[in-house]
Amino acid sequence: MTGNGNNRIQLFNGDGTYLRSFGSKGDKNGEFNFSSGTGFGKNTNIIVADCKYRRVQCFSSQGELLNTFSSYGNLNQLLRGPHRLYVDNEGNMIVANRRNKLIKIFHPNGQFLRKIGRGRSFTYPFLCVQYESYLVVSDSEENYIKFFGYCWKIYLQIWNEGEASRRVHYTSLLVS
């Protein structure tokens, strides 16, 4: 569980019992400023998107820093506003990169693999999950849910005018 107000990660077991926490506010590796999304990688590693410092940090299940990748890499590595992230079955990290208006996919070691979106594909990608062979992305400024299929090309867009659609970026995408 991220706590973007308290800048730490808190771990609980299945019945809600507190186990431990790690992290604090700061700009050094292992610290956070607006931790906006978490995921679990292979080997139960914990992956955290830190929006303010434009980076993704990977930790062991005990909170030991394993890897960091951020805006200080090459252009494909560049993250501007990494918000939510999702870890697929291969352990790849799929990051909703809202200020670059892209979805970026990284190998578990942090190596850039590919990006989704160009031109006006997104205005504010907020959440992303993979369901079967589709990548499902909420684009909160346009009130769209977008489905990407084979070769990550747009397959379907769902738009719903009204108050409920304006809350799409505050909730999780649940696919069953």
* Other beta carbons within 10 Å of 128: 25
Domain boundaries, the chain: 2-170
Residues ≥6 apart with Cβ < 8 Å to 1: 9, 10, 11, 12, 38
- Give the pLDDT score at 153: 56
pLDDT per residue as tens digits for the range 100-130: 788 888 888 888 898 887 766 777 788 888 8
* CA separation for the pair 139, 75 (Å, rounded): 23
Instruction: Give percent above pLDDT 90 in the chain.
Output: 6
Look at residue 166 in the predicted model and tell me its pLDDT: 45
Which of 53-67, 107-121, 155-169 is the least confident region?
A: 155-169
The encoded tokens of residue 51 equal 């929006």
pTM for the structure as a whole:
0.76
pLDDT at 175: 44
Residue range 2-170 forms a domain whose CATH class is mainly beta
